[in-house]
A and B are shown apart, each in its own frame.
Chain A
Amino acid sequence: MPPVQRVIGVRVAGCVARRPVAFSQMRFSSNTPPTQGSDEAPGPKAGESSLARTESASEGMAKHQPNYHAALDFRTSTFSPVPKHVMDGSESDVSVPAAVTSGAPIDLQARTVRIYQQAKNAMQSGAWHGNHWLMDWDVLSKGHRWENPLIGWQSTADVMQGERMEFKSKEDAINFANKQGYEYFVQEPNERRFIPKAYANNFMYSPKKLKIVRTK
């Protein structure tokens, strides 16, 4: 239990957070967003990192360490992952600290959440699943799945293993993850690249010698 820092009843206006660093989350996209109207392939370019970090290396080192003295609740168990930061309401970049009042287990703030769009089925041309964003919980390192010793059924200690939330937009999902104190990362969808083609271009006149002769 961290020591009490102030006398009861004294409240400093604009009090600083208890921890020396501000509220932290893993905020990076797994892919750089595709530029509009570009003929290049989507995804990271040569020499460009696919992780767009918004903090320096030392800041990241300080913020992303697991906090072994974080708050516990009555659901903490041997399967609980160690959180990096447990929301306590003092964060200034969160509009509503919902994790404080929701009554959800602290373990959920320790687990990483993936925000993504479902990929279009390559076998079909329907793309409706790409119109909403999903939130998925990463697999627990321990207690994810084991075989029931009696019958052999698949057992799990993971409460969120079948849980998937749907959002209309990426920002909605990010705001929700921020409110609930989840560690999250956004997986940008793979934009389909379409090269416009015209058959007439095979017969276009060129004053110079053609590099590729498309007609014989």
Chain B
Amino acid sequence: MINPTYLAQRTRTSASWADAKSRVIKSYRDWLRAAPEIQSMYTMNMPVPRIRTKIRQEFEKNRMVKHLPTVDVLITHSHTEFQETMNFWKQLNHVMKYFRTEEEPTARLPPNFITGFLEGRN
């Protein structure tokens, strides 16, 4: 009997939007529940609510998708990231990639044209 890797998900497509919604919410809840463990596992120097905010941001980024197969792919990405994170296959820098815009002052767009012009971003 070959057991699948811990947190592996069987490949499937969503039967309908309601099915996709329940899968998304289930994945979101898994992520939220795992946030303290992620903080301790990767010894991150940030409070757990900040990790949860980032999880929420990542899910909100794809809220407006109207194409159901794209939602399936995004759910698969979520499961993949979750497995890689919780199995400790990642390292701290891979997890901190999600926080680059907050941690790195140069990783941002200018707020308006004049600021960008004065910075020399052309």
Contacts and interface: CB of A to CB of B under 8 A. Distances in A.
Contacts of A96: 67, 69-70
Given A11-B21, A78-B121, A142-B121, A88 B109 contact: no
Nearest to B22: A9
A76 interface: yes
A71 B64 CA distance: 13
A141 B109 contact: no
Contacts of A52: none
B113 to A, nearest CB: 8
A30 interface: no
Contact of B61 (A17, A71, A97): A71
A100 interface: yes
Interface of A: 1, 4, 8-9, 11, 15, 17-18, 66, 68-74, 76-80, 82, 88-92, 96-97, 100-101, 141-142
Nearest to A5: B63
Contact of B107 (A77, A89, A100, A101): A77
B111 interface: yes
30 contacts: A1-B57, A1-B60, A11-B17, A15-B64, A15-B66, A66-B113, A68-B111, A72-B107, A72-B108, A73-B101, A74-B98, A76-B100, A76-B101, A76-B109, A77-B107, A78-B106, A78-B121, A80-B109, A88-B62, A89-B65, A90-B64, A91-B66, A96-B67, A96-B69, A96-B70, A100-B65, A100-B74, A101-B73, A101-B74, A142-B122
A74 B25 contact: no
B11 interface: no
B contact residues, range = 20 to 34
B116 to A, nearest CB: 7
Interface of B: 17, 21, 25, 57, 60-67, 69-70, 73-74, 77, 97-98, 100-101, 106-113, 116, 119-122
A87 to B, nearest CB: 10
Given A89-B65, A89-B70, A90-B66, A82 B110 contact: yes
Contacts of A78: 106, 119, 121
A66 B107 CA distance: 17
Contact of A72 (B60, B64, B101): B101
A101 B77 contact: yes
B116 A9 contact: no
A15 B107 CA distance: 32
Contacts of B61: 71, 88
A84 B17 CA distance: 30
A74 B107 contact: yes
